[in-house]
């Protein structure tokens, strides 16, 4: 079946807008459990709905956010007016997308490395999500994590990027833009150079596998990590992160890829904004061909989550906290952020 290239390109154009990024709100039920427990809120369907409802009804968030990644349960969960979250998001001119992977599983040979599951029956599953969203879904997101230590083998990277390229082909066949997310994890004590080697190797392999699967990188968006030292290592300066990250992209990401969005990966909210700002400046200085932006989960939500505490009287303050982080990252994306603006809350 021929691809609906015009639709796919139109979706990409709407996502990669200057000054906008993506809200990753696609935490699985077990991941959101950890987030809710951190504010002493029970992980019930009603509480998950109330939390997402607070985020998605934030007045004016569409000024800074062009896409929202949803989880299976959230696609057709209802807002207070009885509209599905997908439709609510789309009504703001924001594109809803779906976490299409089925989570990770430790591999018998490469453990502790894990392989992302979910290829089996993916075409049918995508059709179901599209129907449940009333046709509003615009993209998918598939995440494969890579530990720096023990050093990922060539065979592991090869196989996991092969899977990622195949899911991209499935996504395109359903008119959904694949956001491909290889994430070299910050877990550990590795150096920035080790992260750089693993990231470059992974990205080069991803685009090789896309070629083998007949996937046009111009119809995909890359979501990946910044090149940064492990969480337990001395932190890098933002200038270092900007230079190293963009240098790796110049070596490994084809210029026809329309955009690269960052995950926050365990950096705190401020660090994520500072480093995005440094990457944006470095990209501009080196005439990078791709749009660079953010697709943060924790770095956009943490402040709002802590402010909300599961209480309806805190909703507007929590929404203000979310909006503030979205605005700071929007400014960073445009290379216009500075510390004084952070204090403007």
Residue 62 has what DSSP assignment?
A: G
Stretch that binds ligand 13P, among 76-84, 237-245, 292-300, 326-334 (CB under 6 A): 292-300
Catalytic annotation present for 231:
no
Which span sits near ligand 13P by CB under 6 A: 37-45, 159-167, 261-269, 276-284?
A: 261-269
Task: Name which of 11 and 224 has its Cβ closer to ligand 13P.
Answer: 224
H or E element that contains 23: strand 21-24
Residues 130-169 that bind ligand 13P (CB under 6 A): 143
Measuring CA to CA, how many Å separate 240 from each of 197, 269, 278? 15, 18, 9
Minimum distance between the CB of residue 27 and ligand 13P, rounded to whole angstroms? Answer: 8
Cα 170 to Cα 156, 173, 232: the distances in Å are: 22, 5, 38
Q: Which residue is nearest to ligand 13P (CB)?
A: 297
Q: Does 178 bind ligand 13P (CB under 6 A)?
A: no
Q: 20, 209, 223, 327: which one is catalytic?
A: 223
Task: Assess 48 for contact with ligand 13P (CB under 6 A).
Answer: no
Q: Which of 27, 181, 274, 282 is catalytic?
A: 181
CB of 222 to ligand 13P, least distance (A): 13
Residue whose C-alpha is closest to residue 213's, from 289, 119, 292, 141: 119
Residue 293 and residue 67 in contact, taking contact as beta carbons nearer than 8 Å: no
CA distance 341 to 17: 22
Among 298, 324, 325, 327, binds ligand 13P (CB under 6 A): 298
Q: What is the DSSP letter of 152?
A: P
Of residues 191, 286, 182, the one with CA closest to residue 243: 286
Among 61, 110, 142, 296, binds ligand 13P (CB under 6 A): 296
Per the annotation, the verdict on 9 as an active-site residue is no
CB of 304 to ligand 13P, least distance (A): 13
Helix (H, G, I), strand (E, B) or coil at 99: strand
Q: How many residues bind ligand 13P (CB under 6 A)?
A: 10
Strand partners, 67: 22, 95
- Decide if 15 contacts 295 (C-beta within 8 A): no
Residues within the interface to ligand 13P (CB under 6 A): 24, 143, 181, 263-265, 296-299
Catalytic residue list? 181, 223
């Amino acid at each position: 079946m021929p691809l609906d290239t015009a639709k796919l390109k139109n979706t990409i154009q709407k996502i990669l807008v200057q000054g906008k990024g993506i809200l990753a709100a696609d935490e699985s039920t077990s991941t959101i459990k950890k987030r809710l427990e951190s504010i002493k809120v029970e992980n019930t369907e009603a509480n998950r709905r109330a939390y997402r409802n607070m985020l998605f009804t934030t007045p004016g968030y569409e000024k800074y956010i062009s896409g929202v990644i949803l989880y299976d349960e959230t696609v057709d969960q209802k807002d207070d007016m009885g509209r599905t979250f997908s439709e609510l998001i789309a009504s703001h001119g924001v594109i809803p997308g779906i976490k299409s992977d089925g989570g990770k599983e430790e591999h018998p040979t490469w453990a502790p490395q894990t392989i992302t599951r979910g290829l089996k029956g993916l075409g049918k599953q995508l059709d179901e999500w599209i129907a449940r969203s009333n046709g509003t879904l615009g993209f998918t997101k598939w995440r494969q994590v890579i530990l720096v230590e023990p050093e990922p083998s060539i065979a592991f990277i090869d196989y996991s990027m092969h899977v990622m390229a195949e899911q991209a082909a499935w996504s395109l066949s359903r008119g959904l833009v694949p956001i491909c997310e290889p994430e070299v994890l910050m877990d550990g004590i590795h150096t920035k150079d080790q992260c750089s080697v693993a990231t470059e190797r992974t990205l080069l392999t991803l685009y090789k596998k896309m070629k083998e699967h007949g996937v046009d990188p111009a119809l995909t968006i890359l979501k990946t990590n910044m090149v940064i030292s492990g969480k337990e290592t001395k932190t890098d300066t933002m200038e270092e992160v900007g230079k190293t990250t963009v240098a790796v992209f110049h070596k490994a990401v084809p210029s026809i890829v329309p955009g690269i969005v960052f995950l926050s990966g365990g950096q705190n909210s401020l660090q994520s904004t500072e480093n995005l700002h440094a990457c944006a400046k470095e990209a501009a200085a080196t005439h990078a061909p791709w749009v660079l932006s953010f697709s943060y989960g924790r770095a956009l939500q943490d402040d709002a989550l802590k402010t909300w505490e599961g209480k309806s009287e805190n909703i507007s303050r929590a929404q203000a906290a979310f909006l503030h982080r979205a605005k700071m990252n929007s400014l960073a994306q445009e290379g216009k952020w500075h510390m004084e603006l952070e204090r403007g809350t």
